[in-house]
Amino acid sequence: MAKGNTASANRRTDIVSAAIEIFAEIGYYRATTAQVAERASISQPYVYRFFTKESLLVEALEVSWLRILEAFKRVIETSTSEQLEIGFIRAYEEIMNMHRNEILLQMQAQTIQETPIRDAMKKGMGQVKELVENAFQKAGIPDVEEKTSDFLARGMLCNVSMAMDMPGLMVKR
């Protein structure tokens, strides 16, 4: 990759990281690209070189879903069938601890009606569901669809528990 392309890719990453923070802190509708630019220590026109506000949120969501997918794929590669679910739980807990703003961003995006944002959320959740369901199926876990649904529902409850700072909502397994 040429030096200029590397710098541009790095700036895109900086902008997306700043957007994740800003959107998670104050919400998509209240946030401005000027605030994102300030957080990324660049000019607002430079943000617009790469993104509209909506496309910035879509890319931020894609980053957050990709992080979950990659973590779960590592679990699948390194776990036995018996360790699979606990491996997924631990991987997700680590993401929640290390990348809290990405989870908050996903939670907020669930309520946004704009088509590209809804599509990004549907795609991400669908990919996670498919990955978990296939892993459970391959592991020989009975009632795969129900087990997958329960697993995803517990994940959503983990999100609410974290966002509201109410750890008592969760029952430890």
Q: What is the mean pLDDT of the chain?
A: 93
pLDDT tens per residue, range 65-93 = 999 999 999 999 999 999 999 999 999 99
Asked whether 17 and 51 are in contact (CB, 8 A), the reply is: no
What are phi and psi for residue 27, nearest 5 degrees?
95, 155
Indicate if the pLDDT at residue 171 is higher than 90: no
pLDDT in tens, 91-148: 999 999 999 999 999 999 999 999 999 999 999 999 999 999 999 999 999 999 999 9
Q: Read off the tokens for 126.
A: 């669908």
pLDDT attached to residue 102: 97
Determine the pLDDT at residue 172: 59
Domains of the chain, residue spans:
3-169
Q: What CA–CA distance (Å, rounded) separates 131 from 122?
A: 14
Given a cut of 60, whether residue 2 has pLDDT beyond it is no
What's the mean pLDDT in 61-68? 98
**pLDDT tier for residue 160 given thresholds of 50, 70 and 90:** very high
51: tokens are 């993104």
Residue percentage of the chain with pLDDT more than 70: 95
> How far, in Å, CA of 152 to CA of 156, rounded?
6
Domain covering 3-169, topology: Tetracycline Repressor; domain 2 (1.10.357)
At residue 57, the pLDDT reads: 98
* Mean predicted confidence (pLDDT) in 28-37: 97
Q: How far is CA 173 from CA 86, 151, 169, in A?
A: 9, 12, 13
Task: Report the amino acid identity of residue 134.
Answer: N
What was the pLDDT predicted at 6?
A: 78
Which residue, among 55, 57, 56, 59, has the nearest Cα to 67 in the 3D structure?
A: 59
The pLDDT-based confidence of 19 (bands split at 50, 70, 90) is very high
